[in-house]
Structure 1
Amino acid sequence: MFPGATASRADAAYVVVGAPLDISTTFRPGTRFGPERIRRFARPFDDYDRRTDLRFSDCSVHDYGDVRAWDDAAEYLAWLSGELRDVVRDDAVPLLLGGEHTVTAAGVEAVSPEVFVCLDAHLDLREAYDGNEYSHATVTRRILDGTGGEDGDHAGGADDDGAANEAVAAVAAVDEEVVLGARTGSPAEWDRAEADDVTVVAPEDVADFDLAAHLDGRSAYLSVDVDAADPGFAPGTGTPEPFGLEPREMRDVVRTVAPRAAGFDVVEVNDRDDGQAASLAAKLCREFVFAHADS
């Protein structure tokens, strides 16, 4: 259980859901251990938050546990989005613990925000990666362009029946993506990022970017890929990329977006360090709850 997540499901304002998907990680797998590792490295934190004068255990957080993953990403996303929609229907905010970044598509589908805000080292705007349209490297493209619609059309060529089609038809496009901390991508991804529905803020510009003004009251979903941090701070991730953000810069983004957000996730934590990535992920999750509850 996430420390301090003591509320019952019926009384919860926030619901922690683990999503240990680990099938497309490119270089260093291990995200299947992410959700439980995040919970474990949250144990040293004090219950009380001085800035907001709140106790985490008083914020009505419930830990639902993990939604067991299997090896069909599209099918799993369809199932996971259903679980998260139940949370939203109960007027609670889903707190999704990954797992690879692919799981974010389920969170966005459940929440249906106007803006997708993402802390990430990578653009994740590929159409496919190694022939796979449901990959940690394509998740933002799936969210941004949408993979479904009223007519049931979708990118990907899945059969017209079956769970895969249900999954791809579920995700509707958001109005805009704001990716903070991106510092790498393919030429095609950078070309896609030039479109009006994408705003990319380089790591060195994040601290001075007026994110609150940019959101302008629009509803948001916030995704934190832990590799947005410089790997010196969070080495336990699948695709580390130097010259990244400092933890305080990530914290400030979380505090800014949280009051405007209807959903949150933190993803791409694995077991390849001594807990630095998991500790950062857990702290950012708590920062989201404190900032949201205090708004």
Structure 2
Amino acid sequence: MGFPGAVADLEAADYAVVGAPLDTSTTFQPGTRFGPERIRRFSRSYDDYDRLTDQYFSDCAVHDAGDVRAWDDAVEYLEFLGGSLADHHRDGAVPLLLGGEHTVTAAGVRATDPDVLVVLDAHLDLRDDYDGNPWSHAAVVRRALDGDPESAPLSTVSGTADHAVIIGARTGSKAEWERAERDDVTVVSPEDAADWEPDFADESVYLSVDIDGADPAFAPGTGTMEPFGLSPREMRDVVRAVAPHAVGFDTVEVNDRDDGQAAALAGKLLKEFVLSHADGYPED
């Protein structure tokens, strides 16, 4: 089952949905391997027509390329996934990645080589490693900024971001908060998210939506829940604001441990991204 409304042929696509069911480094509740399928399934009830932009999602030239089957070697998988996403990017289609654990964002950054990485997330994900694993989901923003640790092949992530904006972060280790104080990181707290406005000029942006950026009351189906988070409307507004600048998008960390709330939110935010990227929402 493809993403609803993703009916364009690959050759004519402006957007390419790719599932990445990686589930190897989850540190609390596993199940992200089911994320791509659940996001597609719980998006089936959404209307094709969008009143605010006067667009039909099915007219936005979205193609669902299916899943890139995951395996246990995360570094090797990210290399392969990044190559697949880069093919879509070179062919003029914006990659729309469905995770899977947050580690897959490293492949999206590698494929699109953005100037800025914008992340909606409860966690900083700035660890150099977690339990000795530099390719843990808890280290993905660090990898996107600093590239490969010495223990991994330099070819694995060739593209990196110059700056990361982490919106909704409310927890992290002491070392992560210290890393976040450097000039290449901006942290926007949940309390300040509603007032945040992008200022990217001509910079290219990759947008990553970790569903745990939402308060777990709205999206309990995720691996590491963290209270006092963002509302779905706040996340929607960030997605709308960033989408016109974006060269790639993902939504990650959806698992199967709720009744579909997390998957429904992830699918709706993907649609908001495409509609805003394709035409733009009117200013309030």
**TM-score of the pair, normalised by structure 2:** 0.97
Q: Equivalent residue for 1:161?
A: none
1:187 aligned to 155, 160, 174, which one? Answer: 174
Q: Equivalent residue for 2:155?
A: 166
What are the equivalent positions in structure 2 for 1:107-146 lying under 5 Å apart?
107-146=108-147
Q: Equivalent residue for 1:291?
A: 276
Contiguous gaps of at least 5 residues in structure 1:
148-154, 159-163
1:138 is paired with a residue of what secondary structure?
helix
Rounded Cα–Cα distance in structure 2 between residues aligned with 1:102 and 1:28: 15
1:166 is paired with a residue of what secondary structure?
coil
Note the C-alpha offset of 1:146. Answer: 2.0
Please, what is the CA RMSD of the aligned residues? 0.9
2:229 aligned to 234, 237, 244, which one? Answer: 244
Letter in 2 for 1:166: S
Rounded Cα–Cα distance in structure 2 between residues aligned with 1:136 and 1:224: 13
2:220 is the counterpart of 1:268: no
2:177 is the counterpart of 1:177: no
What are the equivalent positions in structure 2 for 1:191-270 lying under 5 Å apart?
191-211=178-198, 214-270=199-255
Deviations 1:235-274, CA, capped at 9 Å, x for gaps = 0000000000000000000000000001000000000000
Note the C-alpha offset of 1:218. Answer: 1.3
Contiguous gaps of at least 5 residues in structure 2:
none
C-alpha contact 2:109 2:160 (8 A) present in aligned 1: no
Rounded Cα–Cα distance in structure 2 between residues aligned with 1:101 and 1:68: 16
C-alpha contact 1:19 1:69 (8 A) present in aligned 2: yes
1:137 is paired with a residue of what secondary structure?
helix
Work out the percentage of aligned pairs sharing the same amino acid.
Answer: 69
Q: How many residues align?
A: 279
Q: Equivalent residue for 2:36?
A: 35
Rounded Cα–Cα distance in structure 2 between residues aligned with 1:240 and 1:134: 20
2:88 is the counterpart of 1:87: yes
**TM-score of the pair, normalised by structure 1:** 0.93
Deviations 1:157-191, CA, capped at 9 Å, x for gaps = 24xxxxx5531xx3333110000000000000000
1:104 is paired with a residue of what secondary structure?
helix
